[in-house]
Structure 1
C-alpha cells in the first residue's frame, strides 16, 4: 500500500500501546515514516519521551506520550484521555507480556488478575472505545499483537496463553463485524521475538539467548503489510501454512466467513 493511501486509510493519528521498545518502537518508527502522527503509550516515561523526540526530529510528525499501566481498572479512560479528542485511525495494542514466569498456583492470584485486566479487559474496552468512531467514519484499523501461545494451554504461561486465545477469537469476530464498515482488524500472532523484555526474562532465568529470534523491525513491517488482510497473521507462516496451529490463517478466515454468513441468514429469518 502506498504511503498516501495508508495515511488516508489509517490516519491521521495512530495510538500504540506498549510503544517504548521492541516491536512497539518498531511500529512507531515505521508509522512515522508513513507520515502518521503518534500517541505513544507505555509505563516508562523515559524511553517514550526519547522515542517521541527522535520521531519528531526525523519525520516532522506530531507525537505525544502517556505513561499508562494497562493493568489498572481505569486504563481505557486514560487511553482516551491521551488521545484527547484526536482522530485515531489506527489502534495497535502491543502490550501484554507475562512477567510472572510461574506455575498457576505458585504465585498470588492478584498477579493473574493484573494480567487478565491488561490482556482481556483493557483490550476489550479499548477496542470498543476506539472502534466505534472508526465504524462511523467508515475506515480505520485495529491490531492486537498476540502470541503463538494462543493456540494451546501451556504450563508455566497458563493464564497468559488463555488471555491471548481470548484476544485471537475476539479479533476474528470483530474482523467479520467491522469489515463491511471499512475497518480492518488483525490478530498478529508472534513467535519468539528479539525484544529487550524477552532477553531480560531469559537472562533472569539463566536461559541462553537462542538463534533465530524474529527481528522487531521485520515483525512490525509484516504486521502493517497484513493489516488489510485479517483476521489473522501468524509470524513465520505463509497465509496458507499451518505450523503454530492445526489451521492456517486462510482456513480461519474462511471459517469465520462461513459462520458470519450463517449468522446473517438467521438474523434475516
Structure 2
C-alpha cells in the first residue's frame, strides 16, 4: 500500500475509534502519518505509540474540522510532504436531536465538517495526486446516507452528499491513477457512538462492528471504489438497497454516455 499511495497518509479524526484504527494499520504498513483531530492530548499519545512501535514519523495537528479554515490548516500542516493517502474520518453526529430541537448553529457546524471541509480538503490534496498520477482518498461515511432518518436529518443529508460527491470524484480521478472510496459504516463501537447513546438515554447496541475490522476492510477495498458497504461483499445489496457493484456499473455507464454526448 505504501508503494501505491505513500509515503505520507493524512488521517482526519484520528484521536480515537475508527480513525485511530486506520492510523495503527497504516503505521504497520510503513506509512508516515499526519494525524488530525480536535483533542491534542490523545493525538500526541497515539503518535508516540506509532513512532515507538513502527518507527514511522508522525505529525499532529489540533484542528476543528467544523471551522471554515480547517482545510487550509490541514494543508499548512502537511506542508511540502507528499500526501498520497487522504482519509477523512471525522463527522459523527454529536447532537442527537431532531432538527427543530437542536440549535441551527449545531447543524451548520455539522454540515461544515461533513460537507464543506470534505470538499475543500479533497480539492487541496487531490490536485497534487492527479499531477503525480497516483494517490487515494477515502471518505468514511454512514449507512444513514441511503435515506433520511428521524433524529439525524442534517447528519444523514451530509453523508448523502459525501456518497454522491465521492462517486463522482472516483470516476473523474480514476483515469489519473487516483483511487476514491466511500467506506460506508454501519453501527461501530466508537467512543463517540457510546457517548451519543448515553446522552440519549439509550442502551448501547450489541451488534456493533469493531473499529479495527472496519479499518481493515476499508484499506483492503481501497482500490476497488467507489463504494464499500461495511459487512457486505461487493455484489451484496443488503441494507444499502443497491450493491456497490451496481452503483459502480451505473456510474461507469452514465460517464460513458456523457462522454459520447460531449464527443
TM-score, normalised relative to structure 1: 0.97
The match for 1:164 is 159
Structure 1 position 69, deviation (Å): 0.3
The match for 1:128 is 123
The match for 2:33 is 38
State the alpha-carbon separation in 2 of the partners of residues 103 and 254 from structure 1: 36
SS in 1 for 2:123: helix
Which string of whole-angstrom CA distances, capped at 9 and with x for unpartnered residues, describes residues 3-52 of structure 1? xxx11111000000000000000000000000000000000000000000
Which string of whole-angstrom CA distances, capped at 9 and with x for unpartnered residues, describes residues 187-226 of structure 1? 0000000011111111222211221210000000000000
The match for 1:143 is 138
Structure 1 position 245, deviation (Å): 2.4
TM-score, normalised relative to structure 2: 0.99
CA contact (8 A) 2:141 2:159 kept: yes
State the alpha-carbon separation in 2 of the partners of residues 206 and 111 from structure 1: 20
Question: What is the 5 A alignment of 1:1-269?
Answer: 6-268=1-263
CA contact (8 A) 2:95 2:196 kept: no
The alignment covers a number of residue pairs equal to: 263
CA contact (8 A) 2:51 2:58 kept: yes
State the alpha-carbon separation in 2 of the partners of residues 21 and 104 from structure 1: 27
CA contact (8 A) 2:96 2:200 kept: no
CA contact (8 A) 2:31 2:56 kept: yes
Which string of whole-angstrom CA distances, capped at 9 and with x for unpartnered residues, describes residues 94-149 of structure 1? 00001111111112211111111000000000001100100000000000000000
State the alpha-carbon separation in 2 of the partners of residues 100 and 200 from structure 1: 10
Q: CA RMSD in A?
A: 0.7
SS in 1 for 2:209: coil
